[in-house]
Structure 1
Amino acid sequence: MDETTDRSGSNGHDTRSPTATVDKAPETRPSGRIDRAVAGASVGILGLFVVLALILPAEMSSWVGAAFTACANIFGMYWQVLLLATFLIALVLIFTPWAKARLGNQAHPDFNRFSWIAMIMTTLLAAGGVFWAAAEPMYHYATAPPYFTNDGHSGFDAVAAALATSFIDWGFLAWAILGSLGTIVMMRAAEKGMPLRPRSLLYPILGARAAKGPVAGIVDVVCVIAVAAGTIGPVGFLGLQVSYGLNSLFGIPDVYPVQLLVIAVLTAVAGVSVFSGVSRGIRFLSSANIWMALALMAAVLVLGSAWFVIKSYFSGFALYMTDFFSMTLYRGDTEWLSGWTVFFFGWFLGYAPLMAIFIARISKGRTVRDLLISTTVLPPIATTFWFSVLGGTGIFLEQQTEGSISGPLMDGGLPAAVMAISDNLPLSTIISIGFLILTMTFVATTTDSMSFAMSQSCMTSGEPSPKLRATWALLIGITAAVLISLGDGGVEALQSAIVITAVPVAFVMLPSLFAAPIYVRQMAKEQNLA
């Protein structure tokens, strides 16, 4: 059974047969009204950024770069502590009896466990599931991180160090900020009549006043801009990567029209998924992504060196665990941190409010323990293994032939990493095409799910219509297409901008630290579980 739907109202008692199936998706609910002020301001600010990038590309890049550096230096430590605290509180909550409480006043989930976790995982991993998993471990292997070289760590295993550093960036802390405490606060606020919008994350301190006023509108706009920047970047990189791959495989010119065509196809796929609804479109794409990723992972393990990858994974994960706190809170080289750990932490923070909206939308009927384990524990373990398979295989191939992976990576950047790995494996053409398709579907899933969250953030009531969601998906595609016409610099400037928007977003997420445990205990008492 793929899906069940609660029809019992708010009392949490299901009246259906346990084997009932559902024909109508939740998207059949009437659409609500659009908050034109929030939608207009969000589109306007994004449009202004694009216009300035086109008219004054050098100046815009310089301004964004200076602001990015300042934000990373001033707020980097706060972000590190915030993400660490979020993870630790989520971890403690898992083991409390309160965690049996069900979310959303619903007795049964809308989606089966596989579909649910697949939607959660692929929404985030699209941003880096292929780009960074192939490239980041190789970067850290080629140039050891300063945590290991500057702080008296002698005789460290370079492979384990490279993987452990990648795990810090993409592991437990990233997933915790994206899907744990913020989601609980969002769902509890919704139970109290608050909208599924970023402003509801301020409910713990403002109460019902969080739903109205200029502060509420500013919070929504900032969060929409942050996630737009974080989604447009991967779409732009997708155009660059697929174009690079087609050139490498078939000799098709790596030129802007090809990149534009790739983005157009991606936008069309996301658009079709939008009109299929969350229960069909996103669920189908997410499940397909997981099965395709598993198949490619198995192929890379068999065709590369499964023993090297498995051995490297355990050594890297062991180092990640033993040095977890010191690596997470490392401040020894702020310039390096702004390019890696702090950059990623800012990126994930930018996604956090809208990820909370999306996960809240698909998690009704789940227990708190379900939610926390399935966002804070299982996906990070799967992600670190995925990074070990792709990045670890790249390191293995580099050890066999020096420069075989690092050379293309340094020359061609992110798009070159996964292609270089594929080129050095048997059945390289099939593997390369598989990764290009996987990257496309990964990013299409994120475009679809985040267009839902952005649209929801612009609603005064109800759920967004497919037309509004498709409009946001189209705007994402158009913006990415315009920015890559400037070269890598346009997309990179936008990705740096998400770190700037993470400054106010990090304060929006702060109340979740104390509010989530309180709300979990309240729900448990209301459900006679505590």
Structure 2
Amino acid sequence: MARKYESDHAIGDNNVQIWGMDIHSPVFFVSATLIMVFVLATVQFPGEANSMLTSVRSWFVATFDIFMMISVSSILIFCLMLIVLPVGKIRIGGDNSKPEFSRISWFSMLFAAGMGIGLMFWGVAEPMTYYLGEGGTPLGVVPQTPAAADMAMAATLYHWGLHAWSIYAVIALALAFFSFNCHLPLSLRSAFYPLLGERCWDWPGHVIDIFAVLATIFGLATSLGLGASQVNAGLTMLFGTEDGLSSRIAIVIVVTVVAIASVARGLDGGIKVLSNINMMLAALLLAFIAFVIGNVGILDPVLQTAGNYLANIVPLSNWTGREDEQWLRDWTVFYWAWWVSWSPFVGLFIARVSRGRTVREFLIAVLLIPTFVTLLWMSVLGVNALYQVQNEIGGLANGMASISLATFQMLEALPYSGITTVVSLLLILVFFITSSDSGSLVIDGITAGGKSDAPIIQRIFWATVQGLLAATLLYGGGDHALAALQAGTVAAGIPFTVILLLVCVSLYKGLHAHMSELKITDGPRTSSR
């Protein structure tokens, strides 16, 4: 269906075979060149690059804060509208399409690729930062008060809940629909076919796909490099290992090697298996923590956090008359830009594994399931951390030693801290691996012209590049280089929000055309019954 938006052109027709790979030459070579130039410049001048890109990011955030707040809320409203509109019954891949993965595996993969690793890093650190008032407090509440604890949990879930996942959902749905229903390549440019037409296959489309490649690989390399510090901090606390550059690079190498092995096995044999393992480990860790902290429990914190989130979602979404203007820019606008910059990668991956779901089922699952899991996670870890602070229990009573150590400090005050720390480290590592190999799968597809059956060596190549990029930046520029990369990624996310809004328009045009064709096709049969 949606024949109006079908095209006889295939971007893979312009592919070349080189080094055992099947690559789309403009996207592959331009992306690789830009990556190399950025790395060389950043490693050569890490301090200057960090300073310049941080200034650019700050200017974007301060100038376009209202635009970002309105845009992300509009995207969430758009997704909610699609759920209740008649287009919600459209099935991705056609009426006879069947899901490729079970619901459990599907949930696990979309969550692991989306933000699982971030929850390990920020599950304790973010509510702690808000509660302590380090860098301001959400909605201007007084720090270190019961109201600050409630608001800390509400603001944390706000950043990781419905708004964040609506960004992923809209681009994932657009990619899935235009690829599986309109038979266009599974590439970011295909989401713009109703707006660009055949120009999608020329340089306008090349630019869109190049941006997707750069955003994906820079975002993953940043997370891999910064996350190595958290793993290193945990190993230092647990085993007394050295917390230094060589250890972080070694962690990046280990993660990269395992990611290469996983991506070589494909979706079924690699990513799906690791995602299922990770969700089981996360569930066991949550259950264990909830069991040993009888003084906090799990049901009451979950209900309390959910209530605070729903009560404050509108005030936190407001963009005028805020007394916490700087906090809004430093945190909320930063997060929206970061999720937008990740949306090409996460959206493409979610689209890849979502054939056979209806639009309604897809949106409900992508919006609600990760938000619910995040609610559970934040409630168990975050509320317990705040309880420790308020009652002067453990190391957190004296504040966070560092953001990287915050989760481990919370676990250290609980029984069997050695076991929970080991499980946490395993979770972090596997989340790294699933993010890396799913990212490699996405970049592989884009640089192969939207093909899903490119040679395995191509996936291995991109998984290796991610690891080398993170390790090179760590070695050549350290934290300054990674901070520069993160600042650049966030700065790029703000202008890309315009593209995301255009995706909404394009998606609605496509879904509406599909429904019109259904009415034309099914009308006579329906009236004759």
TM-score range, shorter chain: 0.7 to 0.9
Instruction: Label 1:342 to 1:154 Cα distance change in 2 as closer, same or farther (>3 A).
Output: same
Task: Give the match for residue 69 of structure 1.
Answer: 58
Structure 2 SS opposite 1:323: helix
* Higher mean displacement: 91-100 or 119-128: 91-100
Task: Give the match for residue 349 of structure 1.
Answer: 340
* Higher mean displacement: 341-350 or 385-394: 385-394
The separation in 2 between residues aligned to 1:511 and 1:389, in whole angstroms, is 38
Q: CA RMSD in A?
A: 2.4
Quick check: 1:202–1:508 contact (8 Å CA) kept in 2? no
Task: Give the match for residue 471 of structure 2.
Answer: 481
The separation in 2 between residues aligned to 1:228 and 1:339, in whole angstroms, is 24
Instruction: Label 1:56 to 1:134 Cα distance change in 2 as closer, same or farther (>3 A).
Output: same
Question: Which amino acid is 1:509 matched to?
Answer: L
Structure 1 SS opposite 2:467: helix
Instruction: Give the C-alpha shift of residue 258 in structure 1.
Output: 1.7
- State which of 436, 448, 452 in structure 1 corresponds to 2:437: 448
The separation in 2 between residues aligned to 1:476 and 1:35, in whole angstroms, is 19
Instruction: Give the C-alpha shift of residue 526 in structure 1.
Output: 4.4
Task: Give the match for residue 13 of structure 2.
Answer: none
Structure 2 SS opposite 1:405: helix
Question: Which amino acid is 2:215 matched to?
Answer: A
Quick check: 1:79–1:506 contact (8 Å CA) kept in 2? yes
Task: Give the match for residue 141 of structure 1.
Answer: 131
Task: Give the match for residue 365 of structure 1.
Answer: 356
What is the CA deviation profile of residues 100-141 of structure 1, one whole-angstrom value per residue up to 9, with x for unaligned ones?
Answer: 211022521111111011100110123402001121011111
Instruction: Label 1:406 to 1:227 Cα distance change in 2 as closer, same or farther (>3 A).
Output: farther
Structure 2 SS opposite 1:366: coil
Within a 5 Å distance, the mapping from 1:132-211 to structure 2 comes to 132-143=122-133, 145-149=136-140, 157-179=147-169, 181-190=170-179, 191-211=181-201
Quick check: 1:222–1:505 contact (8 Å CA) kept in 2? no
Question: Which amino acid is 1:262 matched to?
Answer: I
Structure 1 SS opposite 2:405: helix
Instruction: Give the C-alpha shift of residue 218 in structure 1.
Output: 1.6
| Structure 1 unaligned regions, length at least 5 | 1-9, 11-30
- State which of 321, 327, 331 in structure 2 corresponds to 1:340: 331
Instruction: Label 1:215 to 1:517 Cα distance change in 2 as closer, same or farther (>3 A).
Output: closer
Instruction: Label 1:193 to 1:207 Cα distance change in 2 as closer, same or farther (>3 A).
Output: farther
Instruction: Give the C-alpha shift of residue 403 in structure 1.
Output: 7.5
Within a 5 Å distance, the mapping from 1:264-343 to structure 2 comes to 264-305=253-294, 307=296, 309-330=298-319, 332=322, 333-343=324-334
Quick check: 1:100–1:524 contact (8 Å CA) kept in 2? no
Instruction: Give the C-alpha shift of residue 237 in structure 1.
Output: 2.1
Question: Which amino acid is 2:367 matched to?
Answer: T
Q: With structure 2 as the length reference, what TM-score do the two structures score?
A: 0.88
Instruction: Give the C-alpha shift of residue 226 in structure 1.
Output: 1.4
Aligned residues: 496
What is the CA deviation profile of residues 122-175 of structure 1, one whole-angstrom value per residue up to 9, with x for unaligned ones?
Answer: 10123402001121011111117544327x999862221001110111110101
Instruction: Give the C-alpha shift of residue 408 in structure 1.
Output: 5.7
Instruction: Label 1:108 to 1:425 Cα distance change in 2 as closer, same or farther (>3 A).
Output: same
What is the CA deviation profile of residues 192-213 of structure 1, one whole-angstrom value per residue up to 9, with x for unaligned ones?
Answer: 343221222222311232222x
Instruction: Label 1:350 to 1:318 Cα distance change in 2 as closer, same or farther (>3 A).
Output: same
Quick check: 2:437–2:463 contact (8 Å CA) kept in 1? yes
Q: With structure 1 as the length reference, what TM-score do the two structures score?
A: 0.88
Task: Give the match for residue 7 of structure 1.
Answer: none
* Higher mean displacement: 165-174 or 82-91: 82-91
The separation in 1 between residues aligned to 2:397 and 2:64, in whole angstroms, is 32
Instruction: Give the C-alpha shift of residue 436 in structure 1.
Output: 0.4
Quick check: 1:197–1:457 contact (8 Å CA) kept in 2? yes
Quick check: 2:221–2:469 contact (8 Å CA) kept in 1? yes
- State which of 400, 403, 406 in structure 1 corresponds to 2:391: 400
Task: Give the match for residue 249 of structure 1.
Answer: 238
The separation in 2 between residues aligned to 1:194 and 1:406, in whole angstroms, is 55
- State which of 337, 362, 365 in structure 2 corresponds to 1:374: 365
Kindly indicate whether residue 81 of structure 2 is the aligned counterpart of residue 88 of structure 1. Answer: no
Aligned-pair identity in percent equals 27
Instruction: Give the C-alpha shift of residue 238 in structure 1.
Output: 2.5
Instruction: Give the C-alpha shift of residue 312 in structure 1.
Output: 3.3
